[in-house]
Amino acid sequence: MQERPNSNGTGQAKVKEFVVVTFVDNVEQAREYETLLRLNDIPAVIKEQMDEGADCRAVAIMVPEDFLDEAHVVIESQDAYDDFYDYTMEDEDEFDFDNDLLDDEF
């Protein structure tokens, strides 16, 4: 049985048992993912680290290894939803409904 988080969302898992589920560009997006994972009963922590190859900071979202597959599914589902929402908003912009379309010229 998988261990569920306690009130602070970390359960009995130690930080050293956490693995990276994804990297993001900023802390704000990391907090959104952390909240999303916790809402799905997945313990999550955020860790900022230096990306030595690009000389910039990367923000890692980490979960206990036992929750890694489930966390990937939750994040990918949210990303697919966001992509779909962005796509539908782009389509809406393509249709410029103006008054000329509705004018009767008979």
CATH number at residue 87: 3.30.70
Which amino acid type is present at position 33?
Answer: Y
Give the residues across from 51 on adjacent strands: 56
- Residue 1: count of CB within 10 angstroms of its CB: 3
Task: Establish if 43 belongs to a structural domain.
Answer: yes
36 within domain boundaries = yes
Residue 58, pLDDT score: 85
pLDDT number for residue 37:
95
With respect to residue 103, please indicate whether it lies within any of the assigned structural domains: no
Structural domain boundaries, residue 85: 15-95
Is 58 part of any domain? yes
Domain count for the chain: 1
In a domain, 22, yes or no: yes
Residues in the chain with pLDDT values less than 70: 1-16, 51-54, 80-106
d(CA 77, CA 63): 17
